[in-house]
Amino acid sequence: MTHHTSRHIISLLMENEAGALSRVAGLFSARGYNIESLTVAVTEDPTLSRMTIVTSGSEAVIEQIIKQLNKLIDVVKVLDLNDGKFIERELMLVKVKATGVFREEMKRMCDIFRGRIIDVADGSFTIELTGSGNKLDAFIESLDKAAILETVRTGASGIGRGDRILKV
Amino acid sequence: MEQSTQQFTGAEILIRCLHEENVDFVFGYPGGAVLNIYDAIFHQDKFKHILVRHEQAALHAADAYSRSTGRVGVALVTSGPGATNAITGIATAYMDSIPMVIISGQVPTYAIGEDAFQECDTVGITRPCVKHNFLVKDVKDIAATMKKAFYVANSGRPGPVLVDIPKDITAHLHTFEYPENVQLRSYNPVTKGHLGQIKKALKLLAEAKRPMVYSGGGVVLGDASEHLIKLIQALNIPITSTLMGLGGFPASDKNFLGMLGMHGTYEANMAMQECDVLLAVGSRFDDRVIGNTEHFLSNPRTIIHIDIDPSSISKRVKIDVPIVGDVKSVLTDMNDLIATEKPVQNTAALADWFKQIEEWRGKKCLTYAQSTEFIKPQYVIQKLHEVTKGDAFVTSDVGQHQMWAAQYYPFDKPRRWINSGGLGTMGVGLPYAMGVQFAHPEAQVACVTGEGSIQMNIQELSTCLQYNLPIKVILLNNRYLGMVRQWQEFFYENRYAESYMESLPDFVKLAEAYGHVGMRIENPSDVEGALAEAFSPKLKDRFVFMNFLTDQKENVFPMIPGGKGLSEMILAENL
């Protein structure tokens, strides 16, 4: 077993029932697994929720996480997106200072990263940005720290490429 | 039509569900939130309700009922403290994969979340220690939920399932229809093992020079004992068992090397360490069983693992040939393959292997120094085995006495050895004996315990009186929390912090106060006679509490110190 740790994105479908989310969250804390982010919402089938969990661990730990998730009675299907090709997206809202020189600078940075300004106030802009976690990190890094007033990120959502489909 | 339009209260529906499941005992304790349910129980006589003295005991008794019969154990508790008192019992059953359905009362739906009297988030609190749980919010869901609860508890890797029912739901009216089947799209436990893997496993076992089988509680829970015996006979392989697996393979068989693990036999632990092909059956490479993982893996061997739970495989030790499936089904396939393919074994190597094992056996690691002055606890267990002709159901608590019972009472049949292996819950012994005695009213039931453990559920002496349970308590009283004392002696330079039990009650008077027979045995020469009397026809129908004053300084050997490997056992001084 390799002890090398890597980042994995796990997608799962579960019964859209009260308590299902806490079963998953509880499993991670009870067994000491990492959660980088966790997002969940109902799917086109209202009886199912889809969750994306970003975690990290050795191959053995990831294998255990998948098995333990499958063991939960409310979990219908589990897929480790890292087993194949996939796309990852995350949404971030950033409120930045937009006064004086910052006002033009922020507009330019937003364009470079293909973000959108969705709220304009006298002293601030709110920028909406979508992309992989890395891209969002890069945007934050490239801003002057003093200009950042507030950030909020949704955590990653993932989906397999092409024919890789997670469905009941 | 008449049937389907008749209205029942939620409580009546619940009772009918239990009837449909052919439940014969419900262990419980009433309270406000379950009064409607108790009223419905009052109006029925298909199952018997057993009134315990503390909810923890209800859980343990239902758990032991299940362990000794293979059927689902059922417990009923009220909301709030009723449910929290049940937690230890639920966690104990969960760790040992015991199928149970626990019904807990809850405050009315309209009061949930308002910090109502005797309210607690039972579903939240129990979530990490149940296989699954439900909160029933509508009377029309009771029947389907109960059907699911019994199905989930008793299929796949078994476990406790809790159903939390608010009080108003038990009063609401609805028709009753019990579902014939249950379909859960998210839960389809695998039962049949992969035939290709089974073939591969058999080939490895046949070609092995030093094969070994290590069986666990899964063999007992999966009722696969016969199939395991058949396999061992066909291949003539040595076998050891975990604490939970004892009785799954007859201890008197020549191929049986005794229990392995922290207090396992020298031969079992050495063979486990030195084998070249290991077949694990319904066991989980627990820390108390294989000791230090790195040490265990330092000796290369090929490992085959049969288990119904995929998450048990490669959890602590990487498995070479995993076989996910029901133990009985997989062993049946394996035995069928042996019959048709008649695999050729390496008999010369096998003979050498047995020769080596006999050498290890020659250590006689369970030898202890007999005394005419002090009662040796091991001696009491040996005499218990003789007096009961090896045919008793033996429950134990947790500690030294538990290990001695496991070492010195050889079990030849499954479901006879009832103890808390996973959670290690002190206080289970007496309520376990109750559950077993209810399930097997004619059987000899012995509860081997210590003066620490027995006091953790001593109130159940009252329950035993109410139901005339002829249990025999074998108290190995050394006036110490023996296992704690042993660790303090070995690893804390004899600093016996809080491990001495002072102000013990007069157990004879205590037993008598509860209407039972009490005995105090101080001399080794009286041990056999006292046991014979307790199990004699004269006291056959009486609860007998036997207080054996045993050697205070006796330790459990062999012992693998924490963090050490299987072959790094400490043996008794004289060996």
Q: What is the pLDDT of residue B127?
A: 97
- The answer, yes or no, to whether residue B517 has pLDDT greater than 80, is yes
The pLDDT of B267-282, averaged and rounded, is: 98
DSSP B344: P
**Which of A13, A73, A76, A78 to substitute to test the interface with B, most B CBs within 10 Å?**
A73
Q: What is the pLDDT of residue B575?
A: 72
What would you measure as the largest C-alpha separation in chain A, in angstroms?
57
Name residue B96's amino acid: D
**Which of B151, B186, B314 to substitute to test the interface with A, most A CBs within 10 Å?**
B186
- Other C-beta atoms lying within 10 Å of the C-beta of residue B151: 19
Q: Are B398 and B428 in contact, with CB atoms under 8 Å apart?
A: yes
Same fold, A6-83 and A87-158: yes
Residue partners of A127: CB distance under 8 A and separation at least 6: A93, A94, A95, A96, A106, A110, A115, A116, A117, A118
- Other C-beta atoms lying within 10 Å of the C-beta of residue B389: 9
Question: Burial of A34 by CB count in 10 Å (0-12 exposed, 13-18 middle, 19+ buried)?
Answer: middle
Confidence of residue B396 (pLDDT cuts 50, 70, 90): very high
Cα–Cα dist B2/B437, whole Å: 41
B162 contact A CB<8A = no
CATH superfamily of A6-83: ACT domain (3.30.70.260)
Place of tokens 């660790």: B487
Residue partners of B494: CB distance under 8 A and separation at least 6: B488
Q: What CATH topology corresponds to B2-174? A: Rossmann fold (3.40.50)
Give the gap in angstroms from C-alpha A161 to the nearest C-alpha of chain B.
24
A68, B152: Cβ pair inside 8 Å?
A: no
Q: What is the pLDDT of residue A102?
A: 84
- The answer, yes or no, to whether residue B469 has pLDDT greater than 70, is yes
B7 contact A CB<8A = no
Among B128, B186, B309, the residue with its CB nearest the CB of A76 is B186
- The answer, yes or no, to whether residue B574 has pLDDT greater than 90, is no
The tens digit of pLDDT for each residue in B163-222 reads 999 999 999 999 999 999 998 999 999 889 999 999 999 999 999 999 999 999 999 999
Least confident span in A76-80, B112-116, B467-471, B499-503: B499-503
Cα–Cα dist B420/B62, whole Å: 13
Give the gap in angstroms from C-alpha B128 to the nearest C-alpha of chain A.
7
Cα–Cα dist B553/B44, whole Å: 53
Q: What is the pLDDT of residue A2?
A: 54
Q: What is the CA radius of gyration of chain B?
A: 25
CA dihedral B122, B128, B130, B131 (to 10 degrees): 130
Instruction: Considering the domain delimited by A87-158, tell me its CATH architecture.
Output: 2-Layer Sandwich (3.30)
- Report which secondary-structure segment, H or E, holds B272: helix B266-274
Confidence of residue B562 (pLDDT cuts 50, 70, 90): confident
Cα–Cα dist B127/B159, whole Å: 12
Name residue B540's amino acid: K
Cα–Cα dist B263/B512, whole Å: 36
- Residues across chain B: 575
Report the candidate in B403, B513, B494 with the shortest Cα–Cα distance to residue B453: B403
Listed by start position, the domains of chain A span: 6-83, 87-158
B132, A73: Cβ pair inside 8 Å?
A: yes
Roughly what angle, to the nearest 10 degrees, separates helices B377-387 and B527-534? Answer: 40
Q: What is the pLDDT of residue B333?
A: 98
Q: What pTM was computed for the model?
A: 0.96
B283 token code pair: 């066991």
Report the candidate in B207, B331, B329, B338 with the shortest Cα–Cα distance to residue B280: B331
DSSP B570: B
Report the candidate in B185, B183, B99 with the shortest Cα–Cα distance to residue B144: B183
Question: Burial of A79 by CB count in 10 Å (0-12 exposed, 13-18 middle, 19+ buried)?
Answer: buried
Contacts of A26 in chain B (CB under 8 A): 127-128
Confidence of residue B361 (pLDDT cuts 50, 70, 90): very high
Give the gap in angstroms from C-alpha A5 to the nearest C-alpha of chain B.
17
Domain with CATH 3.40.50.1220 in chain B: 195-361
Cα–Cα dist B512/A51, whole Å: 60
Per-residue burial over B167-192, b if 16 or more Cβ lie within 10 Å, else e, is bbbbebebebeeeeeeeeebbebebe
Q: What CATH topology corresponds to B195-361? A: Rossmann fold (3.40.50)
Please list the residues that pair with B550 across neighbouring strands: B375
The pLDDT of B132-136, averaged and rounded, is: 98
Domain with CATH 3.40.50.970 in chain B: 2-174, 377-549
SS (H, E, C) B103-119: EEEECCHHHCCCCCCCC
Q: What is the pLDDT of residue B1?
A: 43
A19, B123: Cβ pair inside 8 Å?
A: yes
A76, B311: Cβ pair inside 8 Å?
A: no
Q: What is the pLDDT of residue B3?
A: 58
B558 upstream amide cis, omega within 30 of 0: yes
- The answer, yes or no, to whether residue B365 has pLDDT greater than 60, is yes
- The answer, yes or no, to whether residue B2 has pLDDT greater than 70, is no
What are the backbone dihedrals phi and psi of residue B48, each rounded to the nearest 5 degrees, phi first? -100, 130
Cα–Cα dist B252/B249, whole Å: 9
The tens digit of pLDDT for each residue in B137-166 reads 999 999 999 999 999 999 999 999 999 999
- The answer, yes or no, to whether residue B501 has pLDDT greater than 90, is no
The pLDDT of A36-61, averaged and rounded, is: 96
DSSP B375: B
The CATH code of the domain at B377-549 is 3.40.50.970
Report the candidate in B43, B96, B109 with the shortest Cα–Cα distance to residue B415: B96
A22, B124: Cβ pair inside 8 Å?
A: yes
